[in-house]
Amino acid sequence: MSENRKIKTALISVYNKTGVDDLADALVSNGVNIISTGGTAKYLTDRNIEIELVEDLTGFPEMLGGRVKTLHPKVFGGILARRNETHLTQLDALDIPTIDLVVVDLYPFEDTVASGASHEYIIEKIDIGGISLVRAAAKNFQDVVILSSKDQYTTFIKEITEHHGSTSLRTRQQLAKSAFSLTSEYDRQISEYFMSFDEAGHKPNYQLRYGENPHQKAEFIGNLEDVFTQISGKEISYNNLVDIDAALQIMSEFKQDVYTVAILKHTNICGIATRDSGIEAWEAALACDPTSAFGGIIIANFNITMDVASSINKLFYEVLLAPSFDDDTLELLKSKQGRILLKYNSDYRPQEQNYKTLLNGEIQQTYDYASTKKEDLKIVTSLSPDDNEIEALIFANKCVKHLKSNTIVFVKDRQMIGMGCGQTSRIDACRYGIEKAKAYGFDLKGSVMASDAFFPFPDCVEMAYNEGITAVIQPGGSIKDQLSIDFCDKHGVKMVFTGVRHFKH
Protein backbone atom coordinates (compact mmCIF):
# COMPACT_ATOMS: atom_id res chain seq x y z
CA MET A 1 0.00 0.00 0.00
CA SER A 2 1.30 3.45 -0.92
CA GLU A 3 2.54 5.67 1.88
CA ASN A 4 1.00 8.70 0.16
CA ARG A 5 -2.47 9.72 1.31
CA LYS A 6 -4.99 11.80 -0.59
CA ILE A 7 -6.76 14.40 1.52
CA LYS A 8 -10.51 14.31 0.94
CA THR A 9 -11.86 15.98 4.10
CA ALA A 10 -10.23 18.55 6.39
CA LEU A 11 -11.28 19.89 9.79
CA ILE A 12 -10.16 23.47 10.41
CA SER A 13 -10.62 25.12 13.81
CA VAL A 14 -7.99 27.73 14.70
CA TYR A 15 -7.57 30.52 17.23
CA ASN A 16 -5.04 32.44 15.12
CA LYS A 17 -6.58 33.02 11.68
CA THR A 18 -3.34 34.22 10.01
CA GLY A 19 -2.88 32.43 6.69
CA VAL A 20 -5.82 30.07 7.16
CA ASP A 21 -7.68 31.52 4.14
CA ASP A 22 -4.70 30.79 1.87
CA LEU A 23 -4.60 27.25 3.26
CA ALA A 24 -8.33 26.77 2.72
CA ASP A 25 -8.06 28.06 -0.87
CA ALA A 26 -5.31 25.54 -1.60
CA LEU A 27 -7.40 22.73 -0.13
CA VAL A 28 -10.49 23.66 -2.13
CA SER A 29 -8.35 23.82 -5.29
CA ASN A 30 -7.40 20.20 -4.63
CA GLY A 31 -10.99 19.09 -4.15
CA VAL A 32 -10.90 18.90 -0.36
CA ASN A 33 -14.14 19.21 1.62
CA ILE A 34 -13.72 21.53 4.64
CA ILE A 35 -15.46 21.14 7.99
CA SER A 36 -15.14 24.07 10.38
CA THR A 37 -16.34 25.54 13.67
CA GLY A 38 -17.50 28.82 15.18
CA GLY A 39 -15.22 31.78 14.51
CA THR A 40 -13.13 29.91 11.95
CA ALA A 41 -16.26 28.95 9.98
CA LYS A 42 -17.42 32.57 9.91
CA TYR A 43 -13.94 33.79 8.94
CA LEU A 44 -13.84 31.40 5.96
CA THR A 45 -17.42 31.94 4.77
CA ASP A 46 -16.87 35.69 4.91
CA ARG A 47 -14.11 35.07 2.35
CA ASN A 48 -16.42 33.02 0.13
CA ILE A 49 -14.84 29.70 1.04
CA GLU A 50 -17.40 26.92 1.14
CA ILE A 51 -17.40 24.92 4.38
CA GLU A 52 -19.56 22.46 6.31
CA LEU A 53 -20.32 23.25 9.95
CA VAL A 54 -19.24 20.72 12.57
CA GLU A 55 -22.70 20.92 14.13
CA ASP A 56 -24.23 19.75 10.82
CA LEU A 57 -21.93 16.73 10.91
CA THR A 58 -22.53 15.87 14.58
CA GLY A 59 -26.15 16.93 14.89
CA PHE A 60 -25.20 18.87 18.02
CA PRO A 61 -24.78 22.64 18.30
CA GLU A 62 -21.84 24.25 20.09
CA MET A 63 -22.67 24.32 23.79
CA LEU A 64 -21.52 25.65 27.18
CA GLY A 65 -20.38 28.93 25.72
CA GLY A 66 -18.16 27.21 23.17
CA ARG A 67 -16.47 24.87 25.65
CA VAL A 68 -17.83 21.91 23.67
CA LYS A 69 -17.61 22.08 19.88
CA THR A 70 -15.71 19.15 18.44
CA LEU A 71 -15.83 16.57 21.25
CA HIS A 72 -18.03 14.06 19.44
CA PRO A 73 -17.64 10.49 18.07
CA LYS A 74 -18.44 11.69 14.53
CA VAL A 75 -15.39 13.94 14.69
CA PHE A 76 -12.95 11.72 16.57
CA GLY A 77 -14.14 8.58 14.80
CA GLY A 78 -13.32 10.17 11.47
CA ILE A 79 -9.85 11.15 12.69
CA LEU A 80 -8.84 8.01 14.61
CA ALA A 81 -10.14 5.37 12.21
CA ARG A 82 -7.46 3.31 10.56
CA ARG A 83 -7.94 3.15 6.83
CA ASN A 84 -8.58 -0.58 6.85
CA GLU A 85 -11.70 -2.57 6.00
CA THR A 86 -12.80 -3.15 9.59
CA HIS A 87 -12.66 0.49 10.67
CA LEU A 88 -14.03 1.89 7.40
CA THR A 89 -16.99 -0.49 7.54
CA GLN A 90 -17.83 0.80 11.03
CA LEU A 91 -17.65 4.40 9.80
CA ASP A 92 -19.96 3.62 6.89
CA ALA A 93 -22.50 1.98 9.21
CA LEU A 94 -22.52 5.08 11.44
CA ASP A 95 -22.44 7.58 8.56
CA ILE A 96 -19.11 9.05 9.69
CA PRO A 97 -16.77 10.51 7.06
CA THR A 98 -13.02 10.06 7.36
CA ILE A 99 -11.14 13.24 8.29
CA ASP A 100 -7.73 13.24 6.60
CA LEU A 101 -6.40 16.61 7.73
CA VAL A 102 -6.79 18.42 11.05
CA VAL A 103 -5.80 22.09 11.26
CA VAL A 104 -5.88 23.21 14.88
CA ASP A 105 -3.82 25.54 17.04
CA LEU A 106 -4.18 25.94 20.80
CA TYR A 107 -5.46 28.76 22.94
CA PRO A 108 -2.51 31.01 23.90
CA PHE A 109 -2.31 29.91 27.53
CA GLU A 110 1.20 31.15 28.31
CA ASP A 111 0.60 34.55 26.70
CA THR A 112 -2.66 34.88 28.64
CA VAL A 113 -0.84 34.20 31.93
CA ALA A 114 1.90 36.68 31.01
CA SER A 115 -0.70 39.35 30.20
CA GLY A 116 -1.76 39.50 33.85
CA ALA A 117 -5.29 38.33 33.06
CA SER A 118 -7.61 37.16 35.81
CA HIS A 119 -7.52 33.59 37.04
CA GLU A 120 -10.98 32.96 35.59
CA TYR A 121 -9.94 34.20 32.15
CA ILE A 122 -6.74 32.13 32.26
CA ILE A 123 -8.75 28.98 33.03
CA GLU A 124 -10.86 29.58 29.91
CA LYS A 125 -7.66 29.55 27.88
CA ILE A 126 -6.92 25.93 28.83
CA ASP A 127 -7.60 24.20 25.53
CA ILE A 128 -9.57 20.94 25.72
CA GLY A 129 -11.10 20.18 22.33
CA GLY A 130 -8.16 21.58 20.40
CA ILE A 131 -5.48 19.64 22.21
CA SER A 132 -7.60 16.46 21.92
CA LEU A 133 -7.87 16.94 18.17
CA VAL A 134 -4.12 17.52 17.87
CA ARG A 135 -3.30 14.37 19.82
CA ALA A 136 -5.83 12.25 17.93
CA ALA A 137 -4.59 13.34 14.51
CA ALA A 138 -0.95 12.97 15.51
CA LYS A 139 -1.59 9.49 16.89
CA ASN A 140 -3.09 8.42 13.54
CA PHE A 141 -0.28 9.96 11.44
CA GLN A 142 -0.19 6.86 9.24
CA ASP A 143 -3.33 8.21 7.57
CA VAL A 144 -4.00 11.71 8.94
CA VAL A 145 -2.16 15.02 8.66
CA ILE A 146 -1.96 17.38 11.63
CA LEU A 147 -1.14 21.06 11.17
CA SER A 148 -0.71 22.56 14.64
CA SER A 149 0.89 25.91 13.75
CA LYS A 150 0.38 28.59 11.12
CA ASP A 151 4.13 28.39 10.47
CA GLN A 152 3.55 25.01 8.80
CA TYR A 153 1.04 26.25 6.21
CA THR A 154 3.43 27.44 3.49
CA THR A 155 5.42 24.22 3.25
CA PHE A 156 2.26 22.14 3.43
CA ILE A 157 0.54 24.12 0.64
CA LYS A 158 3.59 23.59 -1.55
CA GLU A 159 3.49 19.82 -0.98
CA ILE A 160 -0.21 19.32 -1.71
CA THR A 161 0.04 21.57 -4.76
CA GLU A 162 2.91 19.54 -6.17
CA HIS A 163 1.29 16.18 -5.31
CA HIS A 164 -2.34 16.97 -6.19
CA GLY A 165 -3.70 16.97 -2.63
CA SER A 166 -1.59 14.08 -1.31
CA THR A 167 0.99 13.94 1.49
CA SER A 168 3.85 11.55 2.19
CA LEU A 169 4.20 9.42 5.30
CA ARG A 170 7.42 11.26 6.12
CA THR A 171 5.60 14.59 6.15
CA ARG A 172 2.78 13.23 8.30
CA GLN A 173 5.23 11.72 10.77
CA GLN A 174 7.28 14.94 11.07
CA LEU A 175 4.12 16.97 11.62
CA ALA A 176 2.98 14.48 14.29
CA LYS A 177 6.35 14.86 16.01
CA SER A 178 5.90 18.65 16.09
CA ALA A 179 2.34 18.22 17.37
CA PHE A 180 3.33 16.03 20.31
CA SER A 181 6.13 18.44 21.18
CA LEU A 182 3.54 21.22 21.22
CA THR A 183 1.10 19.34 23.46
CA SER A 184 3.90 18.38 25.86
CA GLU A 185 5.03 22.00 26.21
CA TYR A 186 1.42 23.18 26.54
CA ASP A 187 0.75 20.75 29.39
CA ARG A 188 3.97 21.88 31.08
CA GLN A 189 2.84 25.51 30.95
CA ILE A 190 -0.49 24.64 32.56
CA SER A 191 1.17 22.45 35.20
CA GLU A 192 3.65 25.20 36.03
CA TYR A 193 0.81 27.68 36.44
CA PHE A 194 -1.05 25.46 38.90
CA MET A 195 2.16 24.55 40.75
CA SER A 196 2.58 28.23 41.57
CA PHE A 197 -0.48 28.14 43.84
CA ASP A 198 -0.10 27.41 47.53
CA GLU A 199 -2.12 24.77 49.42
CA ALA A 200 -4.92 27.25 50.04
CA GLY A 201 -5.26 27.83 46.31
CA HIS A 202 -3.66 31.28 46.37
CA LYS A 203 -1.07 32.39 43.85
CA PRO A 204 1.78 34.25 45.55
CA ASN A 205 2.99 37.10 43.40
CA TYR A 206 5.75 39.44 44.53
CA GLN A 207 6.02 42.71 42.64
CA LEU A 208 9.67 43.74 42.73
CA ARG A 209 10.89 47.31 42.66
CA TYR A 210 12.47 46.64 39.26
CA GLY A 211 14.55 44.07 37.44
CA GLU A 212 18.31 43.90 37.02
CA ASN A 213 18.19 47.60 36.18
CA PRO A 214 15.71 50.35 37.11
CA HIS A 215 14.20 50.52 33.62
CA GLN A 216 13.21 46.82 33.73
CA LYS A 217 9.99 45.54 35.31
CA ALA A 218 10.09 42.36 37.40
CA GLU A 219 8.06 40.09 39.61
CA PHE A 220 8.57 36.78 41.38
CA ILE A 221 5.88 34.14 41.01
CA GLY A 222 6.14 31.49 43.68
CA ASN A 223 6.06 31.04 47.44
CA LEU A 224 9.11 32.56 49.09
CA GLU A 225 7.77 31.67 52.53
CA ASP A 226 8.63 28.03 51.84
CA VAL A 227 12.27 29.02 51.44
CA PHE A 228 12.91 31.78 53.99
CA THR A 229 11.37 34.24 56.43
CA GLN A 230 12.39 37.87 56.17
CA ILE A 231 13.18 39.19 59.64
CA SER A 232 14.05 42.76 58.72
CA GLY A 233 15.41 45.03 56.04
CA LYS A 234 14.26 46.70 52.86
CA GLU A 235 12.16 45.18 50.12
CA ILE A 236 13.95 42.34 48.38
CA SER A 237 15.01 43.19 44.84
CA TYR A 238 15.39 41.12 41.68
CA ASN A 239 19.18 41.04 42.05
CA ASN A 240 18.83 40.11 45.73
CA LEU A 241 16.69 37.10 44.78
CA VAL A 242 19.15 35.93 42.15
CA ASP A 243 22.00 36.15 44.67
CA ILE A 244 19.93 34.49 47.41
CA ASP A 245 19.23 31.59 45.09
CA ALA A 246 22.96 31.23 44.33
CA ALA A 247 23.79 31.42 48.05
CA LEU A 248 21.34 28.67 48.96
CA GLN A 249 22.67 26.52 46.14
CA ILE A 250 26.27 26.73 47.36
CA MET A 251 25.31 26.19 51.01
CA SER A 252 23.35 23.08 50.04
CA GLU A 253 26.79 21.54 49.36
CA PHE A 254 27.92 22.19 52.95
CA LYS A 255 24.92 21.08 55.00
CA GLN A 256 26.92 18.40 56.76
CA ASP A 257 29.91 20.60 57.59
CA VAL A 258 30.18 22.11 61.06
CA TYR A 259 30.63 25.86 60.54
CA THR A 260 30.69 27.22 56.98
CA VAL A 261 30.27 30.78 55.73
CA ALA A 262 30.07 31.85 52.10
CA ILE A 263 30.10 35.39 50.72
CA LEU A 264 28.77 36.00 47.21
CA LYS A 265 28.84 38.86 44.76
CA HIS A 266 26.84 38.75 41.53
CA THR A 267 26.11 35.03 42.19
CA ASN A 268 29.80 34.12 42.38
CA ILE A 269 31.52 33.05 45.59
CA CYS A 270 34.16 35.58 46.60
CA GLY A 271 34.83 33.96 49.97
CA ILE A 272 34.09 30.65 51.63
CA ALA A 273 35.57 28.73 54.53
CA THR A 274 34.80 25.93 56.97
CA ARG A 275 36.15 26.12 60.50
CA ASP A 276 35.58 24.70 63.99
CA SER A 277 33.62 27.76 65.19
CA GLY A 278 31.28 30.32 63.69
CA ILE A 279 33.52 33.32 64.23
CA GLU A 280 36.50 31.53 62.69
CA ALA A 281 34.44 30.53 59.65
CA TRP A 282 33.25 34.12 59.20
CA GLU A 283 36.71 35.65 59.55
CA ALA A 284 38.26 33.11 57.16
CA ALA A 285 35.52 33.63 54.55
CA LEU A 286 35.93 37.42 54.75
CA ALA A 287 39.70 37.16 54.44
CA CYS A 288 39.38 35.46 51.04
CA ASP A 289 38.41 38.75 49.39
CA PRO A 290 37.33 41.55 51.75
CA THR A 291 37.08 44.01 48.86
CA SER A 292 34.47 42.01 46.93
CA ALA A 293 32.64 41.19 50.18
CA PHE A 294 31.56 44.84 50.43
CA GLY A 295 27.87 44.94 49.49
CA GLY A 296 27.72 41.17 49.13
CA ILE A 297 25.43 38.35 50.20
CA ILE A 298 26.44 36.38 53.30
CA ILE A 299 25.16 32.91 54.13
CA ALA A 300 26.00 30.70 57.11
CA ASN A 301 24.94 27.13 57.86
CA PHE A 302 24.78 27.72 61.64
CA ASN A 303 22.99 29.79 64.27
CA ILE A 304 24.31 33.38 64.40
CA THR A 305 25.61 34.24 67.85
CA MET A 306 26.64 37.62 69.20
CA ASP A 307 30.37 37.25 68.48
CA VAL A 308 29.70 36.48 64.83
CA ALA A 309 27.01 39.17 64.52
CA SER A 310 29.29 41.83 66.03
CA SER A 311 31.96 41.12 63.43
CA ILE A 312 29.55 40.89 60.50
CA ASN A 313 27.92 44.15 61.61
CA LYS A 314 31.14 46.02 60.81
CA LEU A 315 30.76 45.21 57.11
CA PHE A 316 28.31 46.74 54.66
CA TYR A 317 26.34 43.86 53.16
CA GLU A 318 23.04 43.48 51.30
CA VAL A 319 21.66 40.22 52.70
CA LEU A 320 22.52 37.89 55.57
CA LEU A 321 21.04 34.38 55.56
CA ALA A 322 21.21 31.88 58.41
CA PRO A 323 19.04 29.03 59.69
CA SER A 324 18.61 30.85 63.02
CA PHE A 325 19.71 33.87 65.07
CA ASP A 326 20.12 34.44 68.81
CA ASP A 327 17.61 37.01 70.05
CA ASP A 328 20.24 39.52 71.16
CA THR A 329 22.01 39.30 67.80
CA LEU A 330 18.85 40.33 65.99
CA GLU A 331 18.61 43.52 67.99
CA LEU A 332 22.16 44.39 66.94
CA LEU A 333 21.78 43.42 63.29
CA LYS A 334 18.45 45.23 62.93
CA SER A 335 20.04 48.46 64.12
CA LYS A 336 21.24 49.21 60.61
CA GLN A 337 18.12 49.67 58.54
CA GLY A 338 17.95 48.42 54.99
CA ARG A 339 20.13 45.36 55.45
CA ILE A 340 18.09 42.26 54.79
CA LEU A 341 18.06 39.47 57.38
CA LEU A 342 16.63 36.13 56.31
CA LYS A 343 16.04 32.97 58.29
CA TYR A 344 16.18 30.20 55.70
CA ASN A 345 14.72 26.73 55.75
CA SER A 346 17.58 24.29 56.37
CA ASP A 347 15.67 21.60 54.50
CA TYR A 348 15.49 23.73 51.36
CA ARG A 349 16.66 21.90 48.26
CA PRO A 350 17.16 23.54 44.84
CA GLN A 351 14.46 22.73 42.31
CA GLU A 352 15.06 19.59 40.29
CA GLN A 353 14.33 21.40 37.01
CA ASN A 354 15.88 24.66 35.89
CA TYR A 355 14.20 26.81 33.23
CA LYS A 356 15.54 29.66 31.17
CA THR A 357 13.90 31.69 28.42
CA LEU A 358 15.90 31.53 25.23
CA LEU A 359 15.31 32.82 21.70
CA ASN A 360 11.57 32.45 21.10
CA GLY A 361 11.04 29.76 23.74
CA GLU A 362 12.73 28.27 26.75
CA ILE A 363 15.10 25.47 27.67
CA GLN A 364 15.05 23.30 30.74
CA GLN A 365 17.48 20.97 32.41
CA THR A 366 17.84 18.98 35.59
CA TYR A 367 19.70 20.68 38.44
CA ASP A 368 23.39 19.80 38.84
CA TYR A 369 23.05 17.56 41.88
CA ALA A 370 26.27 15.68 41.09
CA SER A 371 28.28 15.43 44.30
CA THR A 372 31.80 14.02 44.41
CA LYS A 373 32.85 11.83 47.34
CA LYS A 374 36.21 10.30 48.20
CA GLU A 375 35.25 6.96 46.68
CA ASP A 376 34.34 8.68 43.39
CA LEU A 377 37.85 10.02 42.82
CA LYS A 378 40.05 8.35 40.22
CA ILE A 379 43.72 8.79 41.05
CA VAL A 380 45.58 9.16 37.75
CA THR A 381 49.09 9.98 38.95
CA SER A 382 51.72 7.71 40.50
CA LEU A 383 51.42 9.62 43.78
CA SER A 384 48.14 9.57 45.71
CA PRO A 385 46.78 12.54 47.70
CA ASP A 386 46.72 12.12 51.47
CA ASP A 387 43.56 12.52 53.56
CA ASN A 388 44.07 16.25 54.10
CA GLU A 389 44.57 16.82 50.39
CA ILE A 390 41.49 14.77 49.53
CA GLU A 391 39.42 16.86 51.95
CA ALA A 392 40.75 20.04 50.32
CA LEU A 393 40.16 18.69 46.80
CA ILE A 394 36.53 17.85 47.53
CA PHE A 395 36.03 21.28 49.13
CA ALA A 396 37.53 22.92 46.04
CA ASN A 397 35.34 20.86 43.72
CA LYS A 398 32.21 22.01 45.59
CA CYS A 399 33.31 25.62 45.10
CA VAL A 400 34.18 25.32 41.43
CA LYS A 401 30.73 23.88 40.72
CA HIS A 402 29.09 27.17 41.75
CA LEU A 403 31.31 29.63 39.89
CA LYS A 404 30.83 30.80 36.31
CA SER A 405 32.92 29.06 33.65
CA ASN A 406 35.76 29.09 32.90
CA THR A 407 36.79 28.77 36.51
CA ILE A 408 39.77 27.72 38.63
CA VAL A 409 39.74 27.52 42.44
CA PHE A 410 42.60 27.29 44.94
CA VAL A 411 41.88 25.87 48.39
CA LYS A 412 43.98 25.48 51.50
CA ASP A 413 42.87 24.43 54.98
CA ARG A 414 39.13 24.40 54.11
CA GLN A 415 39.30 27.94 52.73
CA MET A 416 39.09 29.25 49.18
CA ILE A 417 42.21 31.38 48.93
CA GLY A 418 41.97 32.26 45.25
CA MET A 419 39.67 31.90 42.26
CA GLY A 420 39.31 33.01 38.69
CA CYS A 421 35.83 32.74 37.16
CA GLY A 422 33.90 33.81 34.09
CA GLN A 423 37.08 33.96 32.01
CA THR A 424 37.20 33.24 28.29
CA SER A 425 40.19 30.95 28.71
CA ARG A 426 41.11 28.51 31.45
CA ILE A 427 44.65 29.81 31.62
CA ASP A 428 43.33 33.34 32.28
CA ALA A 429 41.14 31.93 35.06
CA CYS A 430 44.20 30.23 36.56
CA ARG A 431 46.35 33.34 36.29
CA TYR A 432 43.63 35.52 37.85
CA GLY A 433 43.13 33.06 40.72
CA ILE A 434 46.85 33.10 41.52
CA GLU A 435 47.02 36.89 41.40
CA LYS A 436 43.97 37.23 43.63
CA ALA A 437 45.39 34.84 46.24
CA LYS A 438 48.64 36.80 46.37
CA ALA A 439 46.82 40.13 46.50
CA TYR A 440 45.21 39.12 49.80
CA GLY A 441 48.38 37.71 51.31
CA PHE A 442 47.83 33.99 50.81
CA ASP A 443 50.69 31.58 50.27
CA LEU A 444 49.72 29.07 47.58
CA LYS A 445 52.34 26.57 48.75
CA GLY A 446 50.55 23.46 49.97
CA SER A 447 47.21 24.42 48.38
CA VAL A 448 45.16 22.38 45.89
CA MET A 449 43.59 23.43 42.60
CA ALA A 450 40.19 22.59 41.08
CA SER A 451 38.92 23.13 37.54
CA ASP A 452 35.31 22.98 36.35
CA ALA A 453 36.37 21.28 33.09
CA PHE A 454 39.35 19.37 31.71
CA PHE A 455 42.76 20.83 30.88
CA PRO A 456 43.43 20.62 27.14
CA PHE A 457 47.09 21.39 27.85
CA PRO A 458 49.29 21.20 30.97
CA ASP A 459 49.82 24.99 31.05
CA CYS A 460 47.48 25.63 34.00
CA VAL A 461 48.96 22.75 35.97
CA GLU A 462 52.45 24.04 35.30
CA MET A 463 51.52 27.57 36.34
CA ALA A 464 49.94 26.33 39.57
CA TYR A 465 52.87 23.98 40.30
CA ASN A 466 55.25 26.93 40.08
CA GLU A 467 53.23 28.53 42.90
CA GLY A 468 53.48 25.46 45.11
CA ILE A 469 50.20 23.53 44.72
CA THR A 470 50.38 19.86 45.66
CA ALA A 471 47.26 18.35 44.10
CA VAL A 472 44.70 18.92 41.34
CA ILE A 473 41.07 17.85 40.90
CA GLN A 474 39.44 18.00 37.47
CA PRO A 475 36.85 16.08 35.42
CA GLY A 476 39.28 14.64 32.87
CA GLY A 477 38.08 13.77 29.39
CA SER A 478 40.52 15.61 27.14
CA ILE A 479 42.25 13.65 24.39
CA LYS A 480 45.41 15.22 25.82
CA ASP A 481 44.80 14.32 29.47
CA GLN A 482 48.06 12.41 29.52
CA LEU A 483 50.08 15.60 29.01
CA SER A 484 48.82 17.00 32.33
CA ILE A 485 49.23 13.63 34.05
CA ASP A 486 52.82 13.31 32.79
CA PHE A 487 53.66 16.81 34.03
CA CYS A 488 52.26 15.98 37.47
CA ASP A 489 54.17 12.69 37.65
CA LYS A 490 57.39 14.41 36.65
CA HIS A 491 57.03 17.09 39.34
CA GLY A 492 55.46 15.13 42.19
CA VAL A 493 51.96 16.66 41.95
CA LYS A 494 48.93 14.46 42.65
CA MET A 495 45.97 14.54 40.27
CA VAL A 496 42.50 13.05 40.55
CA PHE A 497 39.68 12.84 38.00
CA THR A 498 36.00 13.13 38.94
CA GLY A 499 34.52 12.25 35.55
CA VAL A 500 31.93 15.03 36.06
CA ARG A 501 32.15 18.41 34.35
CA HIS A 502 30.61 21.44 36.07
CA PHE A 503 30.12 24.10 33.43
CA LYS A 504 28.02 27.01 34.67
CA HIS A 505 26.96 29.54 32.05
Does the N-terminal peptide bond of residue 388 adopt cis geometry, omega within 30 degrees of 0?
Answer: no
36 CB burial (10 A radius; 0-12, 13-18, 19+)? buried
Asked if 44 contacts 20 with a C-beta cutoff of 8 angstroms, the reply is yes
Name the nearest CA neighbour of 350 among 230, 197, 248. Answer: 248
Of 6, 8, 87, 139, which residue is the catalytic one?
Answer: 139
CB neighbours of residue 406 within 10 Å? 22
Q: How far apart are CA 296 and CA 318, in angstroms?
A: 6
Name the nearest CA neighbour of 464 among 482, 480, 448. Answer: 448
Residue 401 catalytic?
A: no
* Helix residue ranges per DSSP H, 275-425: 278-288, 290-293, 306-312, 327-333, 387-400
Collapsed DSSP state (helix, strand, coil) of residue 63: strand
Residue 67, phi then psi, degrees to nearest 5: -65, -30
Collapsed DSSP state (helix, strand, coil) of residue 481: helix
Q: How far apart are CA 345 and CA 427, in angstroms?
A: 39
Q: Give bridge partners of residue 259 from the DSSP assignment.
A: 275
Of 6, 87, 203, 266, which residue is the catalytic one?
Answer: 266
CB neighbours of residue 78 within 10 Å? 23
DSSP 142-156: TT-EEE-SGGGHHHH
Residue 266 catalytic?
A: yes
| Strand order across the 52-53 sheet | 52-53, 33-36, 9-13, 101-104, 145-147
Just list the catalytic residues: 139, 266
